[in-house]
Chain A
């Protein structure tokens, strides 16, 4: 009976997922044509605006005789080496979720679908999910690079091919790393290792970014030597065994007309992609299945920890005793007991999901490393212009970092309640207070972290106290707005069906949240800089006051409106 000519499983999976995605898109467009139009407009505007900015910047840089091309070439190498790192990290996280915590994976493994096919399909899916946003971000830069050097028309066809081959490698390596982590590292070990890794990263980056002492005499007489020394920190991107080196070399040589060189690096990239692709698509399924079984069979990490210390986990009545977190929450949260309980639950859920807090640790770790290093070169900033520019850029960097964190972690908060939404929906707590508690808690944490970071970065730049206060307050207001926006939009566009926060964020609401957050930061930062009392020419007290009032008003509106809409939507939610 079951002897039809078999259709490859891979094709069936591609077909069914294509249908699902297409219907999701259609339903999103049908749900709100305006939003779909705005999203399309944003993507187009970003692409054009980014292209224009990159093109102008590259033309400016290339205008330095001798030095420009060197800097631009190194920038391309750096771009792809960091892209490789980010793609690797993104693939590890998404593969971990997609391979081991995905219900479709479990469903497919109960059918006569080989482990290898399931694994192959999942890394393909994860690779796309992990890469598309990065590729969208860098596309205008690569296009601007091509036009700056008047690259031939075929550059724009060959480059996507190079990039397509390139993204396969981090996808495969990321999936292998995810399998290794899942197979050998339990949650507790991962948490400890992640914290240690971030500490090592901060120490390493802090020591690696030591300043180079350059005298005026050297600048006048030994320019190339100085440039060489300054670029020495970026030499890692020229390591010839990095895939990013092959793709960068291929692209830069194509622009220069060295087609044989491009052909060579293209073949290097192709051979590695084929080699690793072959290994992944033929030999990794068994390891994946072993790792999945290990994940499903894993005992409690805490139990192993207690056993290690020859102590038994507490049983019976003792299990209900307040834990340190409960005691701390009681001291620090002045709200009522029900909202405190909600916050404690959110913290526990967050802490016990290493893929959630691991990403925020890395982002914050890099920011801390940067700020710690400010002290090395702040004494070199003798001009007020550079001090002011750096302080505004610090504010921007901190706010952009915060926007990433609020979109990634605060936005999915309501959606992550998922099918359990009835628990808080039915409780006397009410959806309004639930939302407000989540908002107040995330805002409080964000304010503490960002205000401390901005305050520290200003102190490193040795700027006067009133300006430190100004920047610290500004980022505090931004923290309010970004959190209100994320909580509000998270409630307006909930996705109760999805358990994977990465997928929740990559939906319409998450993208809108990120876009609005970035636009808000860029807009407000420009406003604050333009109306600054002291920087960039300075402005009158009236203009300064007007700018500050506009900032406060705009921040309040952009935060409060989505929050209020979200509260109304949640209040009328039919569970």
Chain B
């Protein structure tokens, strides 16, 4: 599970994340929404251990990302908005590399990678250099490499960017299956339809604060609005 306690992140004078507390239990599919510069990516980067929080803490499956980063990352899969891949490697070599970094056995790694690659239709690309792949295919490679070590927590920042409708569907199905199997799924997106369709709970961030958290129905009830779009717009309207 993910436990965020009074998390604040300051960039000079700018408070990008402002005193957020949130717990996402195991098996929950949590979607974080928010306008640009709301603090979603900063929150995710702190969760991934790429930045230290100014104050507060983040625990992944009980391991504090600040004090036990390795243990926390071992249990987590993180895909950033612009994932890094080694251009001259093939996807198969890249999977082997990341699998080894996670201490996976060869047989397990091959089986998991093959299974996920098949679902993402990566079979024909496995032996081609990554530099020759399209943006969407690279995104699929990054997702497979993140998921193949069977993480307990999945943190994806804008994972649908670059994916075609077919592979967006595959990803949504996989993430749903993961959540059903007890994995904590934390996804940031701008696609409200993804949140409506997939999320067990939705969080809306605005100006660094978590302005609403709850299931779609709970948000509707609390805001007396019928659609997630109107709830989102009313909660994130600067002029309101």
Contacts and interface: CB of A to CB of B under 8 A. Distances in A.
A6 B74 CA distance: 13
Interface in B14-53: 14, 45, 48-52
Contacts of A497: 87, 131
A112 B89 contact: no
A293 B51 CA distance: 5
Contacts of B129: 23
A299 B16 CA distance: 10
Interface stretch (B100-108, B162-170, B187-195, B229-237): B100-108
Interface in A1-27: 1-4, 6-7, 9, 12, 15-16, 19-20, 23-24, 27
A144 to B, nearest CB: 38
Interface string B94-118: 0001101111111010000000000
A24 B88 contact: yes
Contacts of B80: 106, 110
Nearest to A302: B12
A16 B89 contact: yes
A225 interface: no
B73 A112 contact: yes
A110 B69 CA distance: 9
Interface residues of B, number: 41
B150 interface: yes
Contacts of A545: none
A104 B100 CA distance: 16
A290 interface: yes
B70 interface: yes
B140 interface: no
Contacts of B105: 1-4
A27 B132 CA distance: 13
**Overall SS of chain A's interface:** helix
Nearest to B109: A4
A103 interface: yes
Nearest to B11: A299
A307 interface: yes
Contacts of B88: 19-20, 23-24, 27
A4 B101 contact: no
A6 B84 CA distance: 23
A298 B12 contact: yes
B12 A12 contact: no
B101 A12 contact: yes
Interface in A257-309: 289-290, 292-293, 296-300, 303-304, 307
Given A24-B88, A303-B12, A296 B45 contact: yes
B84 A103 contact: yes
Interface string B73-98: 11000101001101111000100011
Contacts of A6: 103
Interface residues of A, number: 39
A113 interface: yes
Interface string B153-180: 0000000000000000000000000000
Contacts of B9: 297
Interface string A496-509: 01000000000000
A7 B49 contact: no
B227 interface: no
B78 A110 contact: yes
Contact of A20 (B74, B78, B89, B106): B89
A400 interface: no
A208 interface: no
B101 A113 contact: yes
Interface string B206-237: 00000000000000000000000000000000
B70 A110 contact: no
Given A3-B105, A19-B89, A112-B74, 16 more contacts: A4-B104, A4-B105, A4-B106, A4-B108, A9-B101, A12-B97, A12-B100, A12-B101, A106-B50, A110-B80, A290-B52, A293-B50, A296-B50, A296-B51, A297-B11, A299-B12
The 10 A-B pairs at the shortest CB distance, nearest first, are namely A299-B12, A107-B84, A4-B105, A293-B52, A112-B74, A23-B88, A20-B88, A103-B84, A112-B73, A299-B11
